[in-house]
Amino acid sequence: MFALVDCNNFYASCERVFQPKLKNKPIVVLSNNDGCVIARSNEAKKLGIPMGAAAFEYKEIFEKENINVFSSNYALYGDMSSRVMELLSEFSPEIELYSIDEAFLKFEGFEKFFDLNEHGKKIQYRVTKGTGIPVSVGIANTKALSKVANKIAKKFPEKTESVYVINTEYKRIKALKWLPVADVWGIGYRHAQKLEKLGVKTAYDFTQLSEDWVKKNMSIVGLRLLKELQGIPCLDLEMPSDKKNIACTRSFDKNYSDFEVVKERVVTFAVTCAEKLRKQKSCANAIMVFIITNGHRKDLPQYARNYLLKLPFPTNSNIELAKFASYALRKIYKQGYAYKKAGVIVTDFTPQNVQQVNLFQNSNEKHKGLMEMMDNINKSIGRTKVKLASQDPDRTWKMRQEKLSPRYTTKISEAIKVKA
């Protein structure tokens, strides 16, 4: 059996843990640069704030409805996530951390010894009590069905007490008939459109399709999903593995046209990629740089390009990746456009320690020690204390974060003070 444990409105709930007065009050959390809504409490959902709403368009509604607005605080959410996951690990040695706010637990043979519903309640109680984050638990014999069960637990918190188990054929069918096909895990916008046109309205309708049709139209991925929903397990827990791509991309606080400004950003993104590469002990063999103008500004000329550069040798050096990134940028940068966003993506990794030596050109050996030194300094006295000269030493780029909450759990000076 699989349990899917999902934190309710995770980012909003994190904020609420440290401001209990916000209980039952509407909360929204904004994306980077305070751009758009990426998380909502139930109360905010009820007020009709859609996911992805542009903050500036909803400003008046936020004020009128007394909605509590927060900038996203990833230091806080990341730390709260690890606390939740740690508690969940107590319940099964087999656990998959699926996302920042979700985990699959696998129970082998548990159903013989435990009442699964009771067990789900224990999990739910333990996490909520231990972290203040409310969670919902869905349990079934396949991952896809545990996702369905979780939706039910979330949708009917009173009736289910936030725990739902699908363990009979009757419950499986009832659940699938209730769930719209568009809300099935693994069926996105495109497939949902296609299916609905064919009269496939619910998850149950989907399970009645022929394997051939599903395979042909939705590939092997769709076929696995079909079986999973029919109660035949095809997906197991996935173990953590090294990343195959690493990206650093950002929207700017405003539009920039000056090459030097954009280059400084791109170099900094490349350095971030290099740091992430070193963390997993990989080197990249290719780097892609992209730039794009503001697509919302129909009145301005639009331009978007990317450039994929195959590297002459694998590297994870800040200096080398920065150099390659600015070379790639030069290839695509065009004067006269107002750029709003840029990014660097590194791909095609090889392990750091098994390097094939190139006959003509290789990564500078000296960089290895240098990077180690830079990482250590930045780790001990603060990120970005040591930079490349091509990164702006004076200007510190700041995201717009007007409603940022304190780092309650990761910065001692920002912890809550309790008076005796």
Chain residues binding DNA by CB under 7 A are: 31-33, 35-36, 38, 52, 54-57, 98-102, 147, 184-192, 219-221, 243-251, 254-255, 276, 294, 296-297, 308, 310, 340-341, 343, 345
Q: How far is the CB of 118 from DNA (least distance, A)?
A: 26
**Residue placing its CB nearer to DNA in the complex, 262 or 345:** 345
In this structure, the strands spanning 68-71 and 27-30 are parallel
- Can you give the C-alpha Rg of the chain in angstroms? 24
- Min dist. Cβ of residue 313 to DNA (A): 16
Q: How far apart are CA 268 and CA 266, in angstroms?
A: 5
Smallest separation, CB 96 to DNA (Å): 12
Q: How far is the CB of 326 from DNA (least distance, A)?
A: 18
User: Considering only CA atoms, which of 35, 403, 54, 404 is closest in space to residue 252?
Assistant: 35
**Residue with Cβ nearer DNA (191 or 263):** 191
Q: Which two tokens stand for residue 409?
A: 């759990």
Q: Whole-angstrom Cα distance, residue 74 to residue 412?
A: 16
DSSP string, 188-252: -HHHHHHHHHTT--BHHHHHTS-HHHHHHHHHHHHHHHHHHHHT------------SEEEEEEEE
* Closer residue to DNA in complex, CB, 37/87: 37
Q: Phi and psi (nearest 5°) for 347?
A: -145, 180
Minimum CB distance to DNA smaller for 17 or for 247: 247
* The two structure tokens encoding residue 241: 């593995």
Q: Are 248 and 344 in contact (CB under 8 A)?
A: yes
